[in-house]
């Protein structure tokens, strides 16, 4: 036996996982297909979209910015943590859009493929909650003021306060 040998940490990423930051519109069909596998009994998919109103104020648009290398590393870390907690998970897909998004456009897609629905749902919720809380992705929300002009402010994650 080797002295002072430390076992290497198990890599809980799959070559089938997919992580992306993109200016281009996100595709539900593509993300679903990336999460699909013949071993799956469930695919949980969460789609975040730009809504027309926040806190009673009409939204004009959202602007997203990201520190891409750190965000992708966090997405990979989320996938590893998912597999440590829900080992049956076989696919993790996290795609986030950046740039200016209009009402109704998709800002984030998270999909988890797994043999059973309970693990797929739990892992998908963990992924989006962890991403929103920790990812170096910033959102500027542009709202219409009462006089019709547009006012833009950076938005904090409410759970981060």
- pLDDT per position as a tens digit, 58-90: 999 999 999 999 999 999 999 999 999 999 999
Q: State the pLDDT at residue 144.
A: 84
Q: Is the pLDDT of residue 148 over 90?
A: no
Q: Which of 31, 39, 30, 33 is nearest to 89 (CA)?
A: 39
- pLDDT per position as a tens digit, 88-142: 999 999 999 999 999 999 999 999 999 999 999 999 999 999 999 999 999 999 9
Predicted TM-score (pTM) of the model is 0.88
Considering only the top CATH level, what class is 18-155? alpha beta
- Residue spans of the domains in the chain: they are 18-155
């Amino acid at each position: 036996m080797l002295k002072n040998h430390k076992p290497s940490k198990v890599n809980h990423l799959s070559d089938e996982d997919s992580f992306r930051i993109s200016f281009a519109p996100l595709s539900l069909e593509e993300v679903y297909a990336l999460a699909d596998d013949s071993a799956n009994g469930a695919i949980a998919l969460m789609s975040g979209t730009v809504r027309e109103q926040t806190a009673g104020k009409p939204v004009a648009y959202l602007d997203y910015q990201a520190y891409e290398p750190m965000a992708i590393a966090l997405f990979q870390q989320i996938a590893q943590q998912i597999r440590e907690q829900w080992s049956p998970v076989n696919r993790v897909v996290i795609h986030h859009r950046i740039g200016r998004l209009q009402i109704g456009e998709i800002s984030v897609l998270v999909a988890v493929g797994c043999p059973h629905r309970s693990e797929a749902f739990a892992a998908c919720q963990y992924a989006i909650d962890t991403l929103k809380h920790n990812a170096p992705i910033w959102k500027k929300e542009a709202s219409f003021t009462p006089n019709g002009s547009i006012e833009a402010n950076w938005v904090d994650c409410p759970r981060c306060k």
